[in-house]
Structure 1
């Protein structure tokens, strides 16, 4: 883990390099050294219906959520939160100048006793010579 998911306002379509933004988040998570790269997931959810602040149609948002398996020290979580947020803020810096945009992030733990997992990604990464 982590699972980095974010909702974003549909009015960002065509104005935001979505694959680039997702890669910036993934890279930031890897570079923290806190997370196993094989466990990182990044997902984007487009919100067609939204109303922001004064309701002006140019207002946009990106609301990020980072969920991770519990047990990491608070200092590691704080550092990872800040690193991911900083990467997003840097990537979006030009967009902040061009339009009204709200950016937020919340990190939360998942109780490992209540979150079973299975998969074959790690094995396939080994076969590809990654990690």
Structure 2
């Protein structure tokens, strides 16, 4: 954990390095010490049909959703959310300064009783990461 999902307006594909942003958010999440690096997942979903504010097609957005297993303190989650949002803000600052752009983040707990998962990824990671 966590699952970090970025929904974004597809007009940003030509303007921002979305893979680079994924790496920056993964690094920020790992640097908090709250999340085991082997469990961090970052992905993007481009939204092709978007209407923002007055409908101007130049408007763009990134909405970051961070889902994590329950059990962390409110302060720990606040600090982790701040660190991830700070990384996103820094990464997108130049774009924000020159274009109409919205950036948001929400962190929420996953209900463990309703969550199922399995994985073989740790079998393929370096020992210091698994």
TM above 0.5: yes
- Structure 2 Cα separation of the partners of residues 47 and 130 of structure 1: 36
Q: Which 5+ residue runs of structure 2 have no aligned equivalent?
A: none
Q: Residue 73 of structure 1 aligns with which residue? A: 73
- Alignment correspondent of 2:37: 37
Q: C-alpha displacement at 1:6, in angstroms? A: 1.1
Match of 1:49 in 2: 49
Q: Which runs of 5+ in 1 are unaligned?
A: none
CA distance in 1, matches of 2:111, 2:10: 32
The structure 1 segments of at least 4 consecutive aligned residues displaced by more than 3 Å after TM superposition are none
Q: What is the root-mean-square deviation in Å for CA atoms of aligned residues?
A: 0.9
- Counterpart Cα distance in 2 of 1:129 and 1:79: 28
Structure-1-length-normalised TM-score: 0.95
Counterparts of residues 52-131 of structure 1 (less than 5 Å) = 52-125=52-125, 128-131=126-129
For 2:127 and 2:34, locate their aligned partners in 1 and report how far apart those are by CA, in whole Å: 21
